[in-house]
Amino acid sequence: MPIYSYTGRHVDGSKATGSIEAIGRSEVVAQLEQQAIIPVRIIALNDSKVDKSSDAGKFSLNFSFLEKATLDEIIMLSRQLASLTRAGVPIVSALRGLSDTVKNPLIALDLAGVADNLEKGQELSVAIARYPKVFSDLYVSMIRVGESTGRIDDSFSQMASYLTLERQTIRNLKQATRYPTFVFAAIGVFITIINIFVIPSFKEVFDSIGGQLPWQTIVLINISDFTLAYWPHVLTLGVAVVMLFRRWKKSAEGRLAWDEFKFKIPLVGSIFYRAVLARFSRTFSVVLSAGMPIEQGLAVVAKAVDNEFVGAKVDQMRKGIERGEGFTSAAKRTAMFSPLVMQMLSVGEETGRVDEMLAEVADFYEEEVEYKLLGLASAIEPILITIIGALVLVLALGVFLPLWELSAAVNR
């Protein structure tokens, strides 16, 4: 079993270090939270050696990396678990029953594994932490809060509601970006066909005619010749660039820089930023309303926002609160929120209803996202029309201008 070295903070702010043997990082987080330690850094030291001699001569294919649980399936699972536990069905029986009925093999195996771990005496939060493909860190934390309050059914219901709103935001973003993505893909296919099939045919006609060709035509012919002659090199370079970009994006520095850059993309950057802030506000509201301490809640939310740049800002808030700052002043120091939102958070802190104000902030940002998504298509259409018009103009000048000149010469 892998061994993880951790660095964290106790509730009183003192430093905590050590090592834990666990299946994965999620279980390390679960064990640390049971000890009232907020993890700051977790590093895998080594993996236990597995005796593979018994597998000699055997050949098997493992396609587990292809398995995943969709957001719709996790929402339905959460609702079913909430209904069953609220009706008084034992959690082990509920997990066994759902494991036999769900169609997704990954969820079925994970539910059966959770039930097995519960029968061995593990707590539910620790048991589900072993299966991060289905149960996220936020999910584990919410279940842990439900265990401490004795209301597991409420935790499942809150996760179902939160994931439903998350699904709606994702659908809105996909719907807004579907049209421009399709148009740009069609333009790419169109240019490829022109370079490979159309321009070479016209080149043969122009060569047979002779004479001086317009510069627009020469440019098109040179681009087509380059594409036909060096397409393997261009394709290899493109694949290499994509692979290097993905590798860079997986690094800590690259992921942080990319997540920050996404907010600066024209037209859609502000939408991405508001969507992430809505996710932060909604998630933090959920964990606070469930009774989680504010410092621990910020540690959980920093991972749940799915953006390293905003996650670093949230972690900065947590450190400020640990130093004794108020929630509003720590949030203001990050410069993430607008003055109106800061005023709402200040009112929530003064009245002791930060979770309710965060829910209203989430509603505010989600409404802004929906409004900007509605205007995105109107803003992108002129740009697309301009690009298409420029392509048509270049092709018309490059392909048909020599033909018009030839026709004029023949008529003289």
Residue 273 resides in a domain: yes
Residues 6+ apart with CB under 8 A from 156: 78, 79, 81, 82, 85, 143, 146
pLDDT digits (tens, 9 = 90+) for 322-344: 888 888 888 888 888 888 788 88
Both 171 and 240 in one domain: the answer is yes
Residue 52 resides in a domain: no
Measured in whole angstroms, how far is the alpha carbon of residue 86 from the centre of its chain?
A: 32
Both 131 and 190 in one domain: the answer is no
Both 88 and 203 in one domain: the answer is no
Both 81 and 33 in one domain: the answer is no
CB 172 within 8 A of CB 370: yes
Tell me which residue range forms the domain holding 87: 69-135
Sheet of strand 3-10: strand arrangement: 15-21, 3-10, 37-46
Both 120 and 182 in one domain: the answer is no
Residue 99 resides in a domain: yes
pLDDT value for 394 = 77
Residue 102 resides in a domain: yes
Provide DSSP, 326-338: -HHHHHHHHT-S-
Both 350 and 404 in one domain: the answer is yes
Distance CA 68, CA 134 (A): 8
Question: Which whole-number Å values give the CA distances from 96 to 110, 221, 245, 318, in the listed order?
Answer: 10, 66, 43, 39
pLDDT digits (tens, 9 = 90+) for 9-25: 776 667 778 778 776 67
∠ CA 68-24-84 to the nearest 5 degrees?
55
pLDDT value for 261 = 92
Comparing 357 with 177, the larger pLDDT belongs to: 357
Taking residue 56's Cβ as centre, other Cβ atoms within 10 Å add up to 6
Looking at the chain, the whole-number percentage of residues with pLDDT higher than 90 is 7
pLDDT digits (tens, 9 = 90+) for 177-218: 787 788 888 888 888 888 888 788 777 777 776 667 777 778
Provide DSSP, 266-283: TTTHHHHHHHHHHHHHHH
Both 347 and 410 in one domain: the answer is yes
Residue 96 resides in a domain: yes
Residue 205 resides in a domain: yes
Both 34 and 101 in one domain: the answer is no
Both 116 and 37 in one domain: the answer is no
Provide DSSP, 90-114: -HHHHHHHHHHH-S-HHHHHHHHHH
Both 193 and 246 in one domain: the answer is yes
Both 8 and 88 in one domain: the answer is no
Residue 385 resides in a domain: yes
| 249 backbone dihedrals φ, ψ, rounded to 5° | -70, -25
pLDDT value for 56 = 41
Q: What is the CATH number of the domain that holds 170?
A: 1.20.81.30
| 7 backbone dihedrals φ, ψ, rounded to 5° | -130, 130
Mean pLDDT of 255-263: 90
Residue 147 resides in a domain: no
| 8 backbone dihedrals φ, ψ, rounded to 5° | -155, -170
Buried b (16+ CB within 10 A) or exposed e, 323-361: eeeebbebbbeeebbeeebbebbbebbeeeebbebbbbb
Both 42 and 75 in one domain: the answer is no
pLDDT value for 242 = 92
In 336-384, the DSSP E strands lie at none
The total of structural domains in the chain comes to: 3
